[in-house]
Amino acid sequence: MSKEKQFVTEITPQAEDFSRWYIDVIKKAELMDYSPVRGCIVFRPEGYEIWEHIKEELDRRFKETGHRNAYFPLFIPESFFQKEKEHVEGFNPELPWVTEAGGEPLEERLAIRPTSETMIGHMYSKWIQSYRDLPVLINQWANVVRWEKRTLPFLRTSEFLWQEGHTAHETETEAREETMRMLGVYRSFVEDYLAIPVISGEKTPSERFAGAVDTYSIEAMMKDGRAVQAGTSHYLGNKFAVAFDIKYLDRENQLQFAHTTSWGVSTRLIGSLIMVHGDDRGLVLPPKVAPTQVIMIPIGPPKSRDAVLARVDELFGQLKQAGVRVRVDDRSDVSPGWKFNEYEMRGVPIRLELGPRDMDNGVCVLVSRVSGEKRVVNQSDLLVEIENMLEQVHREMYDKAASFRTENTFAVDTLDEMKALFEQKRGFVTAGWCGSEACEKQVKEETGATSRNIPFEPSERKAACLCCGDKAEHTVVFARAY
């Protein structure tokens, strides 16, 4: 079997087995590796760098909206979890416990943080005394642990990386504004940077964060039609303020509980962008977070090699200088064809080819990973052409994902219709819902789909609940989810 042949056959086609395709691709592209600890992965440099680009841009947007970073302890005393009833019920089953340290048993067990509301609530109660101390707008970049029964690299791992914003405000209005502002930051970031269209909306009560008054989410559709919750923002009301005694003297000198929020996105964004954009040849990485945006491949016979390489290096220098993330693959023991496959598999947005004839004509060839379009461009315009093509790749990826979502979103009136649909198709289903937990549960039991959220902008409003036929309070998006 030729190297090229072998290459392609190593990736399971998506249509054959989407889960195997996913694992094949992320292993082969060296984004991750399994670790010896159950459910924990290693983020290899090619995977971690995607997270670095995500982090850098989100951090910029958080700071632009007035937030500062801080760092709180990894360990949370057991007693802290007891203070907010719903919170402990939500997280207790997933906690790992440190019971010994420094050669001695601990007096009080310490949980590894699954999220930091409790620790941060405790600290805020010390820091906040007066309305003058508000708002407190803090974010944390950290590792958290949730001991999951079933794991999937990036999408659901026992340890993962994330950011968690935690803010405290004088009034409900301000806290609610903050909750929506950060949902908006997530939405625009995921669309503008990851080229993933999302549905913003409110979670139903059964899908709320443990301890929240209201939870909002952005939901994305993977290429197998399943949903990923790509980011969440919570209005916590006074719940954590009461539990942790976060009180302040207001402008009338009265003691009040603060209103708090929290919001987060995690390394599951990496899994999402792979499942939204990848194809049977491998990864397709959004240009703004791709570790390599342009791969330069010199071609042609050995006798012209030195001259071609010299020109490639010059162009490389120009692009790098301008801030393009560019690499050259000048290995002579691997064929250009093999390299083409390699970098398609790795999802590099643009391939640049340069051979002796291109040298003579002062041009080079750009190939788009997403559309396969080949464009012959003048070397003198290279930077502008690259910038345009990166922008175009981003747009095409977004449009492709948006079309896919449209094609795989269906409105139904009854549960039977939904069941019949799921026998033939996959995707998102919008339907009316009366608001009762019983109906939501029935949908889940009979279809495996959960309510994703109540979209702010539903494509269509439904009048009756798909289950009981009573008046619909909301139009909900249902889907099987990761």
User: What residues line the site for a copy of itself (CB under 8 A)?
Assistant: 33, 35-37, 40-45, 48-49, 51-52, 68-77, 80, 92-103, 110, 112, 119, 122-123, 126-127, 138, 142-143, 145, 147-149, 159, 161
**Closest distance to a copy of itself from the beta carbon of 380 (Å):** 29
**Closest distance to a copy of itself from the beta carbon of 102 (Å):** 4
Q: Report the alpha-carbon angle 306-308-312, nearest 5.
A: 115
Q: What is the largest CA-CA distance in the chain?
A: 85
Report the C-alpha gap between 96 and 237 in whole angstroms.
Answer: 28
> Amino acid letter at 137?
L
Please report how the helices 45-64 and 172-194 are oriented relative to each other, as an axis angle in degrees rounded to 10: 140
Report the C-alpha gap between 79 and 59 in whole angstroms.
Answer: 32
CB 276 within 8 A of CB 401: yes
- Output 129 or 361, the one with its CB closest to a copy of itself: 129
- Output 45 or 323, the one with its CB closest to a copy of itself: 45
**Closest distance to a copy of itself from the beta carbon of 290 (Å):** 14
Distance of CA 66 to the CA centre of its chain: 23
> Amino acid letter at 24?
D
**Closest distance to a copy of itself from the beta carbon of 355 (Å):** 26
Beta strand 136-145 with 68-69 is parallel
- Output 57 or 470, the one with its CB closest to a copy of itself: 57
- SS3 readout for 30-42: CCEEECCCCCCEE
**Closest distance to a copy of itself from the beta carbon of 143 (Å):** 6
Q: Which residues of 26-52 are buried (b: 16+ CB within 10 A; e: fewer)?
A: bbbbebbeeeeeebebebeebbbbbbe
- Output 18 or 72, the one with its CB closest to a copy of itself: 72
Peptide bond into 287 cis (omega under 30): no
CB 258 within 8 A of CB 246: yes
- Output 88 or 142, the one with its CB closest to a copy of itself: 142
Q: Report the alpha-carbon angle 225-424-451, nearest 5.
A: 45
CB 198 within 8 A of CB 190: yes
**Closest distance to a copy of itself from the beta carbon of 126 (Å):** 7
Q: Residue 368: CB partners within 8 Å, gap ≥ 6?
A: 349, 350, 375, 389, 392, 393, 396
> Amino acid letter at 90?
G
- Output 149 or 303, the one with its CB closest to a copy of itself: 149
- Output 333 or 445, the one with its CB closest to a copy of itself: 333
**Closest distance to a copy of itself from the beta carbon of 327 (Å):** 12
- Output 75 or 410, the one with its CB closest to a copy of itself: 75
**Closest distance to a copy of itself from the beta carbon of 91 (Å):** 11
**Closest distance to a copy of itself from the beta carbon of 69 (Å):** 5
- Output 96 or 448, the one with its CB closest to a copy of itself: 96
